[in-house]
Amino acid sequence: MYKKRFDGRKFDEMRPIEMEVGILEQADGSARFQIGKTIAIAGVYGPKEMHPRRLRKPDRAVLKCKYNMLSFSVTDRKRMGPGRRDKEIGLVMNFALGKSIMLDDFPKMGVEVHTEIIQADSGTRCASICAASLALAHAGVPMRDIVSSVAVGEVGGSVVIDLTKKEEDHPDGATDIPIAYLPKDDELTLLQLDGKIKPANLSKAIALGIEGCKRISDLQKKALRKKYSSS
Ligand code: CDP
């Protein structure tokens, strides 16, 4: 049984979170999101003309999310270029963010979201979703609400929030459940599960994740307000 977390946190405690809106000059919207040692940056381009033209949708904009983990972001140098994992996370981000955006306000157009992981200690897809959602808001893309995301799971039999890589590699086993949440609609827009978990612990983990997302959502809104009050 996992009784005390490696970094001394409580089971329901997330790592320190920092974020900043408007970090890139050339993007229409941008943000940095850091949770513990995991750092994601996001740049949004659009809504703009959709290329290639054959992928245009007559009634709405197409959302394209790209996720990339830089070679030096992990302990073992990661091979450059998009692998299967990067492509999968790009698709996952599309699902998680797509619901929040008023895509039908922009027929035939495209919205591009690029995220880069510059340092990874688990939870990178969640950090990317949080950074991307801030960057979309900064780009002025109409949204129902900001999407928040965090991973929950089970480590050595205990339900925890915001797993580190060391926890994911726990010798007694770990289950990682990234979730994304739209607070306004009280709706999960992402729920993945990597591993096994008892049904009772799954409900407990999801409830913990929703609480975490609500706290992140407050911080995201604070970061956006800070950006606009300073400019
Ligand atoms: O990052 P996330 O938890 O969303 O996804 P994952 O595929 O479960 O990866 C967990 C962690 O493994 C990453 O955050 C990295 O810290 C690490 N990892 C790595 O060291 N090298 C890779 N090529 C991929 C992931």
Question: Does 124 contact ligand 1 (Cβ within 6 A)?
Answer: yes
Contact 17, 34 (CB under 8 A): yes
Q: Decide: 65 in ligand 1 pocket, CB within 6 A.
A: no
Q: Look at residue 81 in the predicted model and tell me its pLDDT.
A: 78
Contacts of 20 (CB under 8 A, 6+ apart): 31, 32, 223, 227
pLDDT score for 154: 96
> Are the CB atoms for 224 and 137 separated by under 8 Å?
yes
From the CA of 192, how far away is ligand 1's center (Å)?
A: 14
Confirm or reject: Cβ of 162 under 6 Å from ligand 1: no
Cut 0.85: pTM above it: yes
CA of 200 to the centre of ligand 1 (A): 26
Whether residue 78 has its Cβ less than 6 Å from ligand 1:
yes
Give residue 139's identity as a one-letter amino acid code. A
Rounded Cα distance between 107 and 50, Å, is 10
The finding on whether 158 has its CB within 6 A of some atom of ligand 1 is: no
Which superfamily, per CATH, for 17-226?
GHMP Kinase, N-terminal domain (3.30.230.70)
Name the residue among 1, 37, 39, 2 with its Cα closest to residue 19: 39
CA distances 187 to 44, 46, 99, Å, are 24, 26, 10
Ligand 1, atom 9, lies closest to the CA of 122
User: Is residue 231 very low, low, confident or very high in pLDDT (cuts 50, 70, 90)?
Assistant: low
Q: Which of 28, 15, 22, 63 is nearest to 41 (CA)?
A: 22
Closest Cα to atom 1, ligand 1: which residue? Answer: 124
Domain locations along the chain: 17-226
Q: Which residues contact 72 (CB under 8 A, 6 or more apart)?
A: none
Whether the per-residue pLDDT at 229 is higher than 90: the answer is no
Q: How far is CA 84 from CA 87, 103, 121, 177, 181, in A?
A: 5, 27, 19, 19, 25
Which tens digits make up the pLDDT trace of 21-56?
999 999 999 999 999 999 999 999 999 999 889 999
Q: Which residue's C-alpha comes closest to atom 18 of ligand 1?
A: 74
Q: Are 153 and 175 in contact (CB under 8 A)?
A: yes
pLDDT digits (tens, 9 = 90+) for 203-221: 999 999 999 999 999 999 9
- Using the atom order of ligand 1, give the atom closest to the CA of residue 163: 3
Using alpha carbons, list the distances in angstroms from residue 229 to 40, 73, 160: 24, 33, 36
Placement of tokens 């974020």 in the chain:
19
In testing the pocket of ligand 1, which one of 91, 125, 165, 166 has its CB within 8 Å of the most ligand atoms? 165
